[in-house]
Amino acid sequence: MSRELRPDADETELLERARNGDSEAFGALVERYQRRVIGVAQAIVHNQDDAVELAQETFVRAYENLAKFESRSSFSTWLYRIAANLSIDFRRREGRHQVLRGEDAENEINRLPSPRGDSYQETVRTELSRRINEALKELTPEHRAVILLREVEGLSYDEISDVLQVPRGTVMSRLHYARGRMRATLKDLGRS
């Protein structure tokens, strides 16, 4: 019953096959979007382990609701929206407004790819990462989500608006605030 899956199979074909229960085709979609879905979840909950679990849940929910996906938006935006909703619900449920716990911050830093050779550069990099994470902690989850979706995941304003279901103007104002706050915090941390 299952046909050969071409490596370059387009999204429409993969979706159609996944709708008909072809898990291999859905696996190809998971491979394609997993990193970004994790990124969206991580932008909101700011914890990698939680983000990975939420991303898994996102794909399972997406699979269950494939028949309801009407292609009015792109599949990726639909996925990100599911991930964002699950992540926002998770954050509310867990009451994790102070999402980046000390231990997690250390883990985040340890997971960074280490540059080869120069230990001084590595130290600088680690210090910069620590400051960035400190500055992110100063933001509200809403502001943090917007700036991470934009700067790390590279989503456009319209995509962020769609994923978080807020007006584009809100995205712009939150982003403006988050950038200004991050800039100020990083300068303070630099001075200290």
Partner 1 sequence: MARCEEIKLLLGPFEDGELEPHEMQEVARHLVGCAECEDELADYGSLAVSLRGAAAIPDLTGFTTAVLARIDQLPISLRVRVYRYFTSFADGIGATIATGFAAAAVAVITAVILTPYFKQAHFNFDMSGHQKVARATRTGPAAALGQVAKNEALPIPPDVANGLSDADDFGDNGGAIQPVEASSGAIIDRLEADSPSVAVWSEPQSDTTVIWVPDQSR
Binding site for partner 1 (CB under 8 A): 1, 19-21, 23, 26-27, 30-31, 34-35, 38-39, 42, 48, 51-52, 55-56, 59-60, 63-64, 67, 107-108, 111-113, 125, 128-129, 132-133, 147-148, 150-152, 156-157, 172, 175-176, 179, 182-183, 186
Q: How far is the CB of 12 from partner 1 (least distance, A)?
A: 17
Q: Name the helix (H) or strand (E) containing 49.
A: helix 48-64
64 burial level (CB within 10 Å; 0-12, 13-18, 19+): exposed
Q: How far is the CB of 30 from partner 1 (least distance, A)?
A: 5
Cβ 158 vs Cβ 168: under 8 Å:
yes
Nearest to 77 by CA among 174, 7, 155: 155
Q: How far is the CB of 137 from partner 1 (least distance, A)?
A: 12
Give the list of residues 6+ apart from residue 144 with CB closer than 8 angstroms, or none. Answer: 43, 44, 46, 99, 136, 178
Nearer to partner 1, 61 or 85 (CB): 61
Q: How far is the CB of 89 from partner 1 (least distance, A)?
A: 18
